[in-house]
Structure 1
Amino acid sequence: MAAPPEKTLRDLTGVWVMNKTLSDSADPALALQGVGWLTRKAIGLATVTLHTKEYVDEQGVTHIDVQQTATGGVKGNTENRTLDDTFREHTDWLFGHVKGRTGWVASKAEIGDGTDAFLTDGWEEGQTEWIVSNVESLDRGWTVRQVWGFRDVNGERRYARNTVVAKGDERVELRLVYDYVPEQA
């Protein structure tokens, strides 16, 4: 389902399901990140659901906590994002030891150096802020830059993440598009 107008980057709380038809395959990006073939195939077959809670703490800092689940309720990665642009280290079973930072940007020029069309183009008309996440692998040598926002996909408003994974001279571009799942009464 398309994202309703009341859902913004300031309120992502809810359930979002990755739309595999509208999203790019994650396999090339995962391969570049050193994820094994069998794990990549299992991820490719699964439907990934994001259970998202967004809130602002007492200091006024936004937090976005995402618990991923795969088809059948299989637990995936946990993303705990603190949007203060401060590097934090983290280790998980899929990506290993990484450090990452996430923050708000108010112009496309602030997304990287502003010249990467894959990251900056195609966002919803009138969008004035984005979430940008930068992750560096501390043991596998790759980097990820991910931009979150809303875009028009086939005439519908969708939450999306544009992602660039790089390692050495190799680069993989990946767009993830999500369906909104309304709360059940």
Structure 2
Amino acid sequence: MAAPASKTIGDLNGKWILNKSLSSPVEPALALQGVGWMTRKMVGLATVTLDIKQFTAPPSPPAEPSGAPVTHIEIEQTGTGGMKGSTEKRCADNEFRDHSDWLFGHVKGQSRWVKTEEITDEFLKLGWLEGDEEKTGPNGESHFLSHVESYDNGWTATQIWGFKTDNEGKRRYARNIVIAKGGERVELKLWYDYLE
């Protein structure tokens, strides 16, 4: 289902399901990240749902003593077919924080709000809606950037989140993602249907 007008990068609260027919296959990216064949197949077959909670609170853990409130985005990810879920916690203060999970191992990640003109990678800046109604970040940003670096496997993953129009003219939440390791690079476009 298309995203309602009330859903913007400033309010992603709700449940979203990965639209596989619009999205890139994830297996090449998972292979570059060192995920085993059986797990890649399981992820590829699963229907992935994101339960997103977006709110403002002091950083956790705090990066500086002041602890000025920032945007938090917490995502409970579940999959069908027996795929184990995971929890993503992002804090939009651009500070690196460590994280470990069953799929990607030990990583560090940072997140922040960005405007289109701040995105330097040509693939990451492709296709976004840019009207004033999309500029709902704290300082008029239309995108959210998440960057992760693997301690165990040497890859990086950079995501830009925002809203796009699909081939049928429907407005949807989407992510452009670049996975890189050494000289290799995988580009992904993920599209989501709004559930509730």
What TM-score, normalized by structure 2, do the two folds share? 0.87
Aligned residues: 178
Runs ≥4 in structure 1, deviation > 6 angstroms?
A: none
Could you tell me which residue of structure 2 aligns to residue 91 of structure 1?
A: 100
Could you tell me which residue of structure 2 aligns to residue 109 of structure 1?
A: 117
The CA deviation string for residues 86-119 of structure 1, in whole angstroms up to 9 with x for no partner, is 00011111101100000101x22322xx2x2210
Kindly report the root-mean-square deviation, in angstroms, between the aligned alpha carbons of the 2 structures. 1.3
Q: Given the alignment of the two structures, is residue 120 of structure 1 paired with residue 113 of structure 2, yes or no?
A: no
Q: How far apart are the structure 1 equivalents of 2:172 and 2:183?
A: 31
Three-state SS of the structure 2 residue aligned to 1:67 is strand
What TM-score, normalized by structure 1, do the two folds share? 0.92
Q: How far apart are the structure 2 equivalents of 1:40 and 1:73?
A: 13
Could you tell me which residue of structure 2 aligns to residue 19 of structure 1?
A: 19
Three-state SS of the structure 1 residue aligned to 2:75 is strand
* Aligned-residue offset at 1:57: 1.1
Gaps of 5+ in 1: none
Note closer, same or farther for the CA distance 1:74–1:39 as it changes in structure 2 (3 Å cut).
closer
Identity %: 60
Three-state SS of the structure 2 residue aligned to 1:120 is coil
Moved more, 77-86 or 25-34: 77-86
Mapping 1:18-167, distance limit 5 Å: 18-57=18-57, 59-71=68-80, 74-105=83-114, 107-111=115-119, 114=120, 116-126=121-131, 127-128=134-135, 129-154=142-167, 155-167=169-181
Gaps of 5+ in 2: 59-67, 136-141
2:103 maps to a residue whose letter is L
